Amino acid sequence: MNKIALNIRYKTGYQFNWVAWYLVIYVIIMFMLSYALIKTSLINISEGSLVYRLWASVIWQFAIAMRFKEDFDFFLTLSNTRKDIFLSQLGVVFGFSAFFSGLIVLERLIVDHLNNVFGYHHITDPFHFFAPYGTDNLFLQFVFFLVLCVCCSLFGLLMGSLFYRFGKKFTLTFWLVFSSIPIAFFPLLILPSQFSISLKTVGECLRNFDVLVGSGVLFILTIVFSTAAYLNIRRLPQK
């Protein structure tokens, strides 16, 4: 247990620096963007609002979790077992997921307060209609984003361990498939056929999203990804 605690402390230390820079850059960009939109009258009382953006941190969580090779090799040099390494990664994932989920809820409170002060309306950002932002239950919103962050992080951990096992060919294949998804999907938005997907339909799906069901699905995916990552890491050879 002492080794796991030391591993978590080490990884949390350098990752917290990355988190701090990420948040500083985020705040600066959002301040400049909001100020510019207000000064140029591109958003005003009748046309727009300040918007939520910290939900995108789940993508950052996924990307950070894929940084697996360096941590794995370093922890092995400290005589950690592969189980110790997995549990250490899991501890850091839960810690930062809870941290970011709290910030997402806090941002929602701040943005809603500022919109009320300035008299803006939530009509410019589709995520204002997307549950859990559509719910007033902040605890339920926190739980949803917590499970979402953990799920994305463990998926990133799984991908990072698979990259380590199979090498550059698997990495290249993954990113080719990942990057081809939007290329294949977005043309469907403009196809003049009965199979086309309209933005209005997508908006309705977002509005009808069930937070509890979504959290349950994400929880199941979290178990699947964590199990797969553990099984892969447990027999992972050192390179």
Task: Pick 195 or 136 by higher pLDDT.
Answer: 136
**Nearest by Cα to 236 from 8, 93, 2, 69:** 69
Q: One-letter amino acid identity for 160? A: G
Integer Cα distance of 55 and 126 in angstroms: 13
User: Tokens 């110790």, residue?
Assistant: 84
Nearby residues of 38 by Cβ (< 8 Å), 6 or more positions away: 44
> What is the C-alpha separation between 1 and 211, in angstroms, rounded?
35
pLDDT at 38: 66
- Supply the pLDDT for residue 115: 81
Question: What's the CA gap between 74 and 14, in Å, rounded?
Answer: 13
pLDDT digits (tens, 9 = 90+) for 171-226: 777 777 777 766 666 565 555 544 444 555 555 555 667 788 889 999 999 999 99
Q: Rounded distance, CA 61 to CA 148, Å? A: 10
Residue 13 has pLDDT above 90, yes or no: no
Q: Does the pLDDT value for residue 8 go beyond 70?
A: yes
pTM above 0.85, yes or no: no
Asked which of 20-24, 120-124, 130-134, 216-220 is least confident by mean pLDDT, the reply is 120-124
CA 7 to chain centre: 23
Query: What is each CA distance from 102 to 108, 143, 187, 206, in whole angstroms?
Result: 10, 9, 36, 22
Interior/surface letters 39-59, b for 16+ CB within 10 angstroms, e for the rest: eeeebeeeebbbbbbbbebbe
Contact 238, 74 (CB under 8 A): no
The answer to whether 25 and 118 are in contact (CB under 8 A) is no
- 91-128: per-residue pLDDT in tens? 999 999 999 999 999 999 988 888 888 777 766 566 66
Average pLDDT, the chain: 81
Which residue carries 């999203």 as its tokens?
209
